Structure 1
Amino acid sequence: MQLTLSRLRRGATDPTHQVAADGALWRTTLTVDGPASMRFTQHDPHTLTCEAWGAGAHTAVAAAAALMGEGDDPTGFVADHPRLHDAHRRYPGLRIPRTGQVLESLIPAILEQKVISVQATASWRSLVRAHGTPAPGPTPLGMLVAPSNRAWQLIPSWEWHRAGVDPQRSRTVMQALQVARQLQAAVTLSPQEATARLRTVPGIGVWTAAEVAQRAFGDADALSVGDYHLSNMIGHSLFGRDLTDAEMIEAMVKWQPHRYRVVRLLEVGGATMKPRRGPRLSFVDHRRH
């Protein structure tokens, strides 16, 4: 349960996603019927329970099975590498979730463009805390529902700056919000068509579209080309060497349409990262823009 949903969490202090002391996983979402808080509990390897509170509770529960990867189809996937075989054996319950909520995945993905993870998650946390709404129900302390589309649009420029988001990324968010209805409708399209629609928005490229497809569409093949670490993580985990993005794409052809599944198995199974020989990426302060 937690492994399947862990990639929906934006950092350890994400106000929309928490794991309680009793092991229950809490998640908030904004449905077409209003906000909802969801509580997932796992009783045994084959039984999950979802409870929900708020105006969108019924809609959230109806979408819970897809969220937990009910529609994920591993047919045709062959774990033909010792590392993949081991992870596939150890984590047979791992699924690719499908939230069906495009902006819920898109906005934090835009915030993650070209900055280190800790900076992006801090921006997300700051904006949700300032402009989100209290989570309905008996949620853990501090949980919030992410802002509505209209609330995102009303955030003034200086609030984006204060949260460490540069004008280019905040502009991309605003452009996406202008066509939010069309982007949300992409959940009814094929993964290829949905990704193409996302990329019609200026500022949304291959990497951002893939990050959304993995979460909102449950696309088990969406490969985050352009990620700072991904090509070398795959290269060192599966081939023992650095890979460029072009080499990664070529090497991953054999696993289509399960390339993202390969990535997740490596992540949960313990990927091998490229040895560090230089300085870490630095925190970029955009507050002076």
Structure 2
Amino acid sequence: MTGTAPTASRTLRPPPGYRLAATIRPLTFSPYDPCARIVDDTLWWATRTPAGPGTLALHGTGSELRADGYGPGGDWLVAHADAVAGLRDDLTGFADLARSHPVVARLAARHAGLRMPATGLVFPRVLRAVFEQKVTGKEAYRAYAATVRHFAAPAPGPVSLLLPPEPAAVAATPYWVFHPFGVEQRRAETLRRAAAVADRLERCADSAEATRRLTAVAGIGVWTAAEVVRVAYGDADAVSVGDYHVPNTVAWALAGEPRGDDARLLELLEPFRGHRGRVCRLLEVAGVQAPKFGPRAPIRSFARF
């Protein structure tokens, strides 16, 4: 922990009814995320920026948000704090689209203060998304947290957090180092390949270009790319095609069908094009779940391999 005084600060004025905690929840992996924490309506988020490592604190204070940045990347984070807080989120046209379905209309009204955050940073999200590929949430978090702690780079600021690992360090790490973290060779090699081209991924002009570059990396498909650009770019239309739960959730919420496939997912979301990812996020925040059938997926271990 270094640098307890902010290097930069800024006051933001969100719209009436804005909900900070719900908006920035996608920036945290769990309440125990080593890189991020929400405490008393304050987000503490440690990351690596183009200007260097930094920590951003977003404090809710009545009708205002105070953004404090720490470390070499503090200025960069404060300059982008409105995007991180979802205040650059463009809801143009969504109100009209939402009225086309009673469930979406009701959720849009109930969660009107929800915004889509945009971090402007790709690789930290790639790190998480690759670990989430085709495993349970517990497995993914275990791998993510263990990897962050393996590289163990302290973040600046008054709160004890760790920085995500540097892409160069990840690219140079043999795949078998990740095995004790519960990561098999396939995901470890995918992460290493993405880390090797992280500079190119960070230089994308928009979500579409980032999606093209991401899916050009072997092991990264449309699901992983959508998980990345929805948060890195605040892409409100990004749909996680190939997800285990999302097609069922959308089919249940919008059509009363307990199961759905990717084709049905896209069919039901088509009327909301431009905001399809926003609809999925609303369903997630509202806790909508399709009926569950069958056993849960087992948690596996690769530590012995």
TM over 0.5: yes
Deviation at 1:129, TM superposition (A): 1.1
In 2, are the aligned partners of 1:11 and 1:118 still within 8 Å (CA)?
Answer: no
- Secondary structure (helix, strand or coil) at the match of 2:295 reads coil
1:105 aligns with 2:121: no
1:18 maps to a residue whose letter is R
Other-structure match for 1:209: 225
Quick one: distance in 2 between partners of 1:177 and 1:135?
20
1:288 aligns with 2:304: yes
1:53 aligns with 2:70: yes
Aligned counterpart in structure 1 of residue 183 of structure 2, from 165, 172, 185: 165
Other-structure match for 1:79: 98
1:106-185 aligned within 5 A = 106-139=126-159, 141=160, 143-185=161-203
Deviation at 1:228, TM superposition (A): 0.3
Other-structure match for 2:271: 254
Deviation at 1:71, TM superposition (A): 2.2
Query: TM (normalized to structure 1)?
Result: 0.93
- List runs of 5+ in structure 2 lacking aligned partners: 1-19
Quick one: distance in 1 between partners of 2:64 and 2:104?
26
- Secondary structure (helix, strand or coil) at the match of 1:50 reads strand
- Secondary structure (helix, strand or coil) at the match of 1:195 reads helix
Quick one: distance in 2 between partners of 1:167 and 1:288?
13
Aligned counterpart in structure 2 of residue 238 of structure 1, from 241, 254, 276: 254
1:16 aligns with 2:35: yes
In 1, are the aligned partners of 2:176 and 2:185 still within 8 Å (CA)?
Answer: no
Matched residues, number: 282
Quick one: distance in 2 between partners of 1:119 and 1:238?
30
Residues 7-34 of structure 1, C-alpha deviations (whole Å, 9 max, x = no match): 12112311111112x3311111111221
Identity of matched residues, %: 39
- List runs of 5+ in structure 1 lacking aligned partners: none
Residues 32-69 of structure 1, C-alpha deviations (whole Å, 9 max, x = no match): 2211111111122x421111111111111111111112
1:7-46 aligned within 5 A = 7-20=26-39, 22-44=40-62, 46=63
Aligned counterpart in structure 1 of residue 244 of structure 2, from 210, 228, 234: 228
What do you get for the CA RMSD once the two structures are aligned?
1.4
